[in-house]
Amino acid sequence: MIGNRMFVAGVVATAALVALPVSAQSAQKVGVIEVQRIVQDSAVGKESLARIQKVSAAKQEDLTKRQTELRDLEKRIQEQGKSLSEEAMEKLQKDYQQKALDLKRFQDDAQRELEELQRRELTELEKKVLPVIEAVSKELGYSLVFNKFQSGLLYADDAVDITAAVITKFNTAIAAAPKTDAKPAAAAPAPKK
């Protein structure tokens, strides 16, 4: 999400930069950021990744349990198949097919859920970090800032990479922000008349 917006903004900004007279272009200061580093190294990014990892681990644990049940049922069919009645064998095979179908559905649902969680987490992170990127860019005098690896950029000198400054300011801003986890006090009931 950040990459797409940054890319579009980068294309527009590049077009605007090309359209400027040469004297105005020399006054432009261009920077880059590594979005992935912000996600991995910022406090908010680490929290988001931890939430995603927690859900992913729970899904993986459930998946492993389901796969084990399916293998056990398959083993039972192979070992007891000849000694079971036709009706009992048919029931086991139906159970196996149902469990296999359930496993496939679970995998698909888990994948969708994880992708949705990741999208929500990254969207929330983006909302929080974009004002910080803008503030750092202005403080350091950058007119344009590109997403280093998703903007089509082929080379950028490390001196124009403002990722570390963004992460530092982002972490500081988040640490200084008041916590809003506290639930508001319940309103007193209206007096009865």
24-51 pLDDT, tens digit per residue, is 555 689 999 999 999 999 999 999 999 9
Q: Which two tokens stand for residue 4?
A: 């797409």
- Give the pLDDT score at 83: 84
Task: State the total domains in the chain.
Answer: 1
- Give the pLDDT score at 28: 87
Residue 97 domain flag: yes
Tell whether the model's pLDDT for residue 9 goes beyond 50.
Answer: no
Phi, psi angles (nearest 5°) of residue 188? -70, 140
| Residue-by-residue DSSP string for 38-104 | HHHHSHHHHHHHHHHHHHHHHHHHHHHHHHHHHHHHHHHHHHHTTTS-HHHHHHHHHHHHHHHHHHH
Residue 182 domain flag: no
Residue 183 domain flag: no
Could you tell me the CA-to-CA distances from 22 to 26, 138, 145, 155, 177 in Å, in that order?
Answer: 6, 22, 19, 22, 42
Of the two residues 81 and 4, the one the predictor is more confident about is: 81
Q: How far, in Å, CA of 157 to CA of 190, rounded?
A: 65
Instruction: For residue 1, name the pLDDT band (cuts at 50, 70, 90).
Output: low
- Give the pLDDT score at 88: 87
pTM above threshold 0.75: no
pLDDT in tens, 85-104: 889 888 989 999 999 999 99
Residue 122 domain flag: yes
Contact 55, 170 (CB under 8 A): no
Contact 123, 48 (CB under 8 A): no
Q: Identify the CATH number of the domain in which residue 152 sits.
A: 3.30.910.20
Residue 189 domain flag: no
Of the two residues 9 and 163, the one the predictor is more confident about is: 163
Tell whether the model's pLDDT for residue 181 goes beyond 60.
Answer: no
- Give the pLDDT score at 3: 52
Tell me the mean pLDDT in the region 147-174.
89
- Give the pLDDT score at 85: 86
pLDDT in tens, 106-157: 999 999 999 999 999 999 999 999 999 999 999 999 999 999 888 788 888 8
99 is in which domain, residue-wise? 2-175
Which amino acid is residue 83, in one-letter code? Answer: S
- Give the pLDDT score at 54: 97
Of the two residues 93 and 12, the one the predictor is more confident about is: 93
Tell whether the model's pLDDT for residue 184 goes beyond 60.
Answer: no
Residue 81 domain flag: yes
Residue 187 domain flag: no
Residue 181 domain flag: no
**Closest among 96, 94, 89 to 72, alpha carbons compared:** 96
Tell me the mean pLDDT in the region 158-165.
93
